[in-house]
């Protein structure tokens, strides 16, 4: 890490890291609170596999978001080379990106859209939380 000469910069950086960690946790919890009731409603209705697809997509979306953050943190801290960073991103995309395809195999082809909706929910919630944090200052 680079040395910081002024204590106020260190305090601001520490506060930003604390906010980042809190936002990461709250987005996971909010995603759970949003996706589980919708998945239960889908499962209780005539489409139980769609509830599973939504939860599976949401779980993969959370894992994807956390892996992206962790990979970025390691790169910025200098603990990962750019080559390994790129390789880890490709492996992550291929590993998690295949899950919606399994949803399409178990149900109609458009059930992949339900899994993708669950997948992008944590990312959308994170962007809304970040926007709210920036607008309130």
Q: What is the pLDDT of residues 21-36, one digit of tens each?
A: 889 999 999 999 999 9
For residues 41 and 50, what is the distance between their CA atoms, to the nearest angstrom?
10
Q: Is the pLDDT of residue 10 over 50?
A: yes
Instruction: Identify the pLDDT of residue 32.
Output: 93
Is pLDDT at 136 greater than 90 in this prediction? Answer: no
Share of the chain above pLDDT 70, in %: 91
In this structure, are residues 114 and 125 in contact, taking their beta carbons and an 8 Å threshold? Answer: no
**Those residues with Cβ within 8 angstroms of residue 59's Cβ, 6 or more apart along the chain or in another chain:** 118
How high is the mean pLDDT of the chain? 86
Whether 105 shows a pLDDT value over 90: the answer reads no
DSSP label at residue 4 = -
Q: Of residues 16 and 26, which shows the higher confidence score? A: 26
Name the band, by pLDDT with cuts 50, 70 and 90, for residue 102. confident
Separation of first and last alpha carbons in the chain: 26
Across 74-102, average pLDDT = 88
Per-residue pLDDT at 78 exceeds 60:
yes
pLDDT of residue 1: 46
């Amino acid at each position: 890490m680079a040395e910081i000469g002024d204590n106020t910069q260190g305090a601001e950086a520490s506060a930003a890291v604390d906010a980042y960690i809190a936002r990461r946790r709250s987005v996971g919890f909010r995603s759970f609170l949003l996706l589980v009731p919708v998945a239960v409603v889908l499962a209780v209705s005539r489409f139980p596999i769609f509830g599973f697809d939504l939860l599976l997509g949401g779980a993969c979306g959370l894992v994807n978001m956390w892996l992206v953050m962790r990979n970025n943190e390691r790169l910025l801290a200098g603990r990962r080379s750019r080559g390994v960073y790129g390789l880890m991103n490709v492996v992550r995309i291929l590993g998690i990106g295949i899950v919606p395809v399994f949803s399409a195999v178990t149900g109609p082809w458009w059930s992949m859209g339900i899994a993708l909706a669950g997948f992008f929910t944590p990312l959308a919630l994170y962007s809304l939380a970040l926007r709210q944090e920036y607008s309130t200052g």
